[in-house]
Chains A and B, each alone.
Chain A
């Protein structure tokens, strides 16, 4: 299937000389939730800003649903809704006025029933006549989302959408994003909350120092790069790992009460049965064991460290 967003050899060098993007190539699939991860200053917002028309690319080609973002900008931009990172709102206007303004900008005639539905879905209907300056940070974030949806985009960019919002609102937003995906909207999500990408995304892209490092299905990425650990809680603490167990990739916990065995879950032979046999042979008893898998956060940190 043709990608809904295609980025080819995209480079951005700011007037200051900062190279924010360096030959980026990326395809976003139609209908997916794509998680774009990267540390501060990695180039996430620059990439989004170029696709949306806010920043001018230095080199490269970007097309949105087959429309070039420069030569066919009207068609390209009309597909996109953007929720920016900053809480940039017309503070002196009320919610309803600013919703109508956003819809009009995208060339759509007034549609009060749609606006009512969006505001109700985002629990903003009761606040529709309030000035935005009177709303809380979380409510302002909802207003930004409502404004991004008011022209019925087929692609939604969420740039750090849950930054500074409480847990309840974050979960509400996750539900809303899932609902949008089900209705066919493609979502590109940048976030600092790795668990958010882990919870939401179908695919993950990692960007660092302006370069796309990895783009992979989330499940594949976690299987490919994720490691499993088996933790054995010992009956009697050890002062060091016995020499007889040198052949196993073991670590001893700081208090000596647990042995941690790291293994690759994808391999046919994990070495666990051999380890347990050796422990029994050398009289090391354990009272409990449990296994855990690397989170996306661990994977992300490792990927970024590898690059730097």
Chain B
């Protein structure tokens, strides 16, 4: 294992986050805070409780998940896409580094940034809303698992994208709608039966449900199924990355 290489990539990527502190940390915290103010404090006070939880508290796991997914994807996809765009990918490809080490460096950094951001958002949320965490270890587990899985997904997008537009398409056109329709702002039990069935095809439902369970002990779907779905998606991403490195798709000619 080329530990120095993993460290070099990790440190390089983390340094990029500190250099772009406003974009990497401050902006997502500000936008999520606005959600808390508008949906939590303003509108939330006029909404009834859901599953015995105040609306403002209810949306915290969903909003956290929304930021976690989008930031994980964005960090990891940009991290690997930019060297491809600028041409500096030649250094990675010509170095004695295995695909696993490359993934550990880039995905590790992207996931770290997302987890730090997630924790900062959680602390910020406390300023606006009271909440409790029923299962803190599970919460940390979900946070890590989701950050890693969606950083892997972002890494796949970064490898696949051959222009900046493609870098944005999946997060904006797929992930964002799935998150909004995945129960970030409501319980899927509030939907008519037909739409409840349709919603179960949305993988983000399982993430938000499991994450919410770790906060309040209530879930739309069984927590074991939630963990299984995240692991399944993680395996899919790993398989895609393995295939890309094996074939050199959009990486090597």
Contacts and interface: CB of A to CB of B under 8 A. Distances in A.
Contacts of B86: 88-91
A97 B87 CA distance: 17
A193 interface: no
Contacts of A91: 86
Contact of A101 (B8, B87, B94): B8
Interface string A87-123: 0111111000100111111111100000000000000
A136 B130 CA distance: 55
B253 A15 contact: yes
B83 to A, nearest CB: 8
Contact of A107 (B5, B11, B90): B5
Contacts, number: 83
Interface in B1-46: 2-5, 7-9, 11-12, 15-16, 19
Contacts of A76: 96
Contacts of B16: 92
A78 B5 CA distance: 12
A147 B95 CA distance: 12
Contact size class for B? Answer: 20 to 34
A75 B96 CA distance: 7
A102 to B, nearest CB: 6
Contacts of A92: 16, 19
Given A97-B15, A104-B5, A147 B252 contact: no
20 contacts: A14-B253, A52-B90, A56-B253, A73-B96, A74-B96, A76-B96, A78-B96, A82-B90, A84-B90, A88-B86, A88-B90, A89-B88, A90-B86, A92-B19, A105-B5, A105-B95, A106-B5, A106-B96, A107-B3, A107-B5
Q: Which 10 residue pairs are nearest across A and B when measured between Cβ atoms?
A: A104-B8, A88-B87, A74-B96, A105-B95, A52-B94, A77-B96, A107-B2, A78-B96, A104-B4, A54-B93
